[in-house]
Amino acid sequence: MLDPKLIRSAIDTVAVQLQKRGVVIDVPKLTAWEDRRKALQIEMQDLQNKRNVYSKEIGIAKAAGRPVEEALGGLKTLSDSLKVIENEFATLQAEIEDYLARLPNITHDSVPVGKSEADNQVLRFWGEPKKFDFTPKDHVALGAGLGLQSGSTQQEMDFEVASKLTGARFVVLRGSIARLQRALIQFMLDLHTQEHGYQEIAVPYLANADSFFGSGQFPNLKADVFALSGDSEYYLIPTAEVPVTNTVRDTILDENALPLKYVCYSSCFRSEAGSYGKDIRGMLRQHQFEKVELVQIVHPSVSYAALEEMTLHAETVLQRLQLPYRVVALCTGDIGFAAAKTYDLEVWLPGQDCYREISSCSNTEAFQARRMKARYRDGSGKVDLVHTLNASGLAVGRTLIAVLENYQDALGRVHIPEALQPYMNGVKVIS
């Protein structure tokens, strides 16, 4: 959430910044709300002071044995008026807070200004896309073929059975492909814990509305979340960022405890509302997928250094797997709701003949922390908001796709990257 003090003191500046994201705020409405809020607050304080005077005078009169009926009547009238003002103030305050909760973060000055993903800036490339002497298959064709080659009547990447079990945009993985996915997860967790200094954390796959509000999914992105029916107000997490970041909600951390660095493997669930017809083939965009998430809680002074560090940590996964990729700076029109700055990593997929997003690395600055009331206390006792960051390290399903497509051969086999072979019990080729 944006700082209400900033909006009160520099509403026109905020309006200009948000306009870069294509968001137009109603400055006259916000100004009128703020003027009314101030007037109500002054009126409340005046009535509260008068009530205190009345109460004190009544106490003195009672002690002196004087009649207090008239004074009690005046106190009741005043209290009734105060209650009306307090209710109006509370209603207005809730309306203001709801409006502010729907405003996205202000982007960092270094973020390129643009309207859509077409305006994103490619910063650098790593690795050269492999040149095949045959027409490379995509992961769907490879997955189907692997199961048949093994002599089984069941495909190792089975969308038909998943559709029967649940519906569209789900998959059943079997045999060597299921094992390859598990190897990728373990490889990523080991890399981030043993070399990058993250602490592994396991969290619930269900979270409450407060957690979704704290990380910025609610109220705007609620349509993309699966809600449980019944009496409980639980939602399936769209990313481990939601519960992991909220572990510091309503917390004051010691400055010396920072940074907190967490890595978390989880299943993720998204309704993909508004993405009809987009990337629906195979495993590219599913309702359930696996991800290894990186989260850092840091001192504000180092958050942009932390963003560069986290991006390199995600890149290292791709480099160890020898998968070509590029780093893209998202523009103001394509950046996420809570992010102040985001880098996307896009991996090369030969079967698609293009780069596809495999990781987003974002600094939200104090945007999430303000919603969560996540703070730290420095050596002088001053309390301030932390900065929070998150990154995919990586999206497991898309990494699986990238390995299958980049390591295929003309016979439809898939060679295992050297970094994954220890996790595959020495298996070097899936065939």
Q: How far apart are the C-alpha atoms of 100 and 113, rounded to whole Å? A: 23
The string of DSSP letters for 45-86 reads: HHHHHHHHHHHHHHHHHHHHT---HHHHHHHHHHHHHHHHHH
Strands 260-269 and 199-200, sheet pairing: parallel
The number of CA neighbours under 13 Å toward the Cβ of 167 is 4
CA pseudo-torsion sign 132, 136, 139, 142: negative
Amino acid identity for residue 236 in this structure? L
DSSP-based helix, strand, coil % in the chain, nearest 5: 45, 20, 35
Amino acid identity for residue 311 in this structure? T
Q: How far apart are the C-alpha atoms of 232 and 208, rounded to whole Å? A: 9
Catalytic positions are 270, 285, 357, 360, 398
Q: Are 368 and 215 in contact (CB under 8 A)?
A: yes
Q: Which two tokens stand for residue 67?
A: 């009649």
Report which of 190, 181, 421 is spatially closest to residue 286, judged by C-alpha positions: 181
CA distances from 51 to 73, 74, 87, 102, 140 (A): 12, 9, 17, 37, 74
DSSP bridge partners of 429: 415
Q: How far apart are the C-alpha atoms of 207 and 81, rounded to whole Å? A: 41
Report which of 247, 216, 366 is spatially closest to residue 304, judged by C-alpha positions: 366
The string of DSSP letters for 221-251 reads: TGGGSPBPPSSS-EEE-SSTHHHHHGGGTTE
Hey, is 93 helix, strand or coil? helix
Q: How far apart are the C-alpha atoms of 230 and 206, rounded to whole Å? A: 14
The number of CA neighbours under 13 Å toward the Cβ of 161 is 11
**315 CB-contact burial (10 Å; exposed 0-12 / middle 13-18 / buried 19+):** buried
CA distances from 30 to 33, 85, 96, 139 (A): 5, 20, 8, 51
